């Protein structure tokens, strides 16, 4: 046990107190993605320092008097003057985001957790596979891939949404698609009359994606069942389980591995995750209510 009181007090008390203390950010911009999903650009209120993070990390966002929720970061990690979050209104705290206006203040703690393995992606094919709002934590990875396109071989984005109306980052996906050296495939579970693209679950897109199984990293985020089937499809195609990365979601109160809520087997999703290689969680995710 590390019971050295000097080591303990060497950490400045101010720095320690900061872990549960939100920093203030102002809403600089607010956009509607879909009927129930909003994207916010945030600017720090108390400092001119930028906000540094790694793709795949998340923040705890606090709305005055309402509470705090873990939300992944959705902006470009190389643009540190703006913090970007996409929030779906699904509960008592997130519903409060609908009322935020430009200039309003929210609290931010973070960034937390382990992000996408961008270094490991170097020199190989990269598959970005997203279901629903799972595209939000993958967007910083996409920016990284674009910013350093020459580090990678084939880059594919496979995205599934419930319906055409539920597609987030719509205009941006169209821009990505215009890029000749990126493969973008979109599918929807339920089409409407104006949709002439892919219809159905995402696994058929995974089954026919072009990649070299010996030299590919897959970054996957979406509903639990989607990630399970995507990972199984990738493994059938020869991709090793430890080259498949998934971003997981659990209840989080502290995000600093103190509160115990986010545990998944031996993992603290807030600290060991949210991005974990699939081989570390494959077995435990097969267990119901784990």
Partner 1 sequence: MPATNDASTKAGLLRRADLQSLIDALQRNDYRVIGPTVRDATVVYDEIAMVDEMPIGRGDNQDGGHYRLTDRADDAVFGYTNGVQSWRRYLFQPRRTLWRAKREARDFVVEPETEPAPKQAFIGVRACELHAIEIQDKVFVDGTYTDPDYQSRRATAFLVAVNCGSAGGTCFCSSTDTGPRSESGFDLSLTEFLDGADHAFLVEVGSERGAEIAADLPLEAATGADRQRARAITEETAASMGRTMPVDGLKDRLQQSLEHPRWQQVADRCLACSNCTMVCPTCFCSTTEDYTDITGQTAERQQRWDSCFALDHSYLHGGSVRTSTAARYRQWMTHKLAGWIDQFDVSGCVGCGRCITWCPVGIDITEEAAAFSGDGVE
Q: Which residues bind partner 1 (CB under 8 A)?
A: 1-5, 8-9, 11, 13, 16-17, 19-22, 24, 45, 62, 64-68, 88, 90-91, 94, 101, 103-105, 107, 249-251, 253-254, 256-261, 263, 265-266, 268, 271, 284, 287-290
CB nearer to partner 1: give 10 or 193.
Answer: 10
Smallest separation, CB 39 to partner 1 (Å)? 18
How many Å apart are CA 118 and CA 219, to the nearest integer?
10
**What's 158-178 look like in SS3?**
EEEECCHHHCCCHHHHHHHHH
CB nearer to partner 1: give 214 or 284.
Answer: 284
Smallest separation, CB 30 to partner 1 (Å)? 14
> Residue 96: helix, strand or coil by DSSP?
helix
Smallest separation, CB 69 to partner 1 (Å)? 9
CB nearer to partner 1: give 77 or 264.
Answer: 264
How many Å apart are CA 279 and CA 283, to the nearest integer?
8
CB nearer to partner 1: give 64 or 208.
Answer: 64
CB nearer to partner 1: give 70 or 160.
Answer: 70
Smallest separation, CB 141 to partner 1 (Å)? 23
For tokens 């979109």, name the residue. Answer: 186
How many Å apart are CA 56 and CA 115, to the nearest integer?
4
Smallest separation, CB 218 to partner 1 (Å)? 24
Contacts 24+ apart (CB under 8 A), 257-266: 264/290, 265/290
Question: Distance between the two ends of the chain, CA-based, in angstroms?
Answer: 30
Closest by CA to 168, choosing from 200, 136, 203, is: 136
């Amino acid at each position: 046990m590390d019971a050295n009181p000097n080591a303990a007090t060497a950490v400045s008390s101010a720095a320690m107190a900061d872990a549960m203390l939100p920093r203030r950010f102002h809403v600089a911009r607010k956009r509607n993605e879909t009927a129930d999903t909003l994207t916010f650009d945030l600017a720090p209120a108390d400092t001119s320092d930028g906000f540094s993070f790694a793709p795949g990390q998340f923040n705890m966002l606090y709305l005055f008097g309402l509470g705090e929720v873990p939300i992944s970061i959705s902006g470009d990690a190389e643009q540190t003057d703006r913090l970007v979050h996409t929030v779906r209104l699904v509960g008592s705290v997130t519903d409060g985001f609908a009322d935020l206006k430009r200039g309003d203040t929210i609290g931010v703690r973070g960034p937390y957790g382990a992000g996408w393995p961008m270094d490991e992606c170097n020199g190989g094919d990269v598959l970005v596979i997203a279901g629903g709002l799972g595209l939000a934590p993958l967007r910083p990875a996409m920016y990284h891939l674009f910013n350093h396109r020459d580090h990678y071989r084939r880059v594919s984005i496979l995205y599934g949404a419930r319906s055409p109306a539920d597609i987030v980052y719509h205009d941006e996906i169209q821009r990505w698609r215009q890029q000749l050296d990126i493969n973008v495939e979109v599918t929807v579970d339920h089409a409407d009359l104006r949709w002439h693209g892919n219809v159905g679950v995402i696994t058929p897109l995974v089954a026919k994606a072009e990649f070299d199984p010996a030299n590919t990293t897959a970054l996957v985020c979406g509903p639990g069942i989607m990630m399970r089937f995507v990972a199984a499809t990738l493994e059938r195609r020869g991709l090793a389980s430890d080259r498949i990365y998934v971003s997981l979601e659990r209840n989080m109160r502290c995000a600093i591995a103190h509160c115990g809520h986010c545990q998944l087997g031996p993992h603290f999703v807030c600290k060991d995750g949210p991005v974990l290689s699939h081989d570390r969680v494959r077995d435990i995710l097969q267990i119901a209510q784990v």
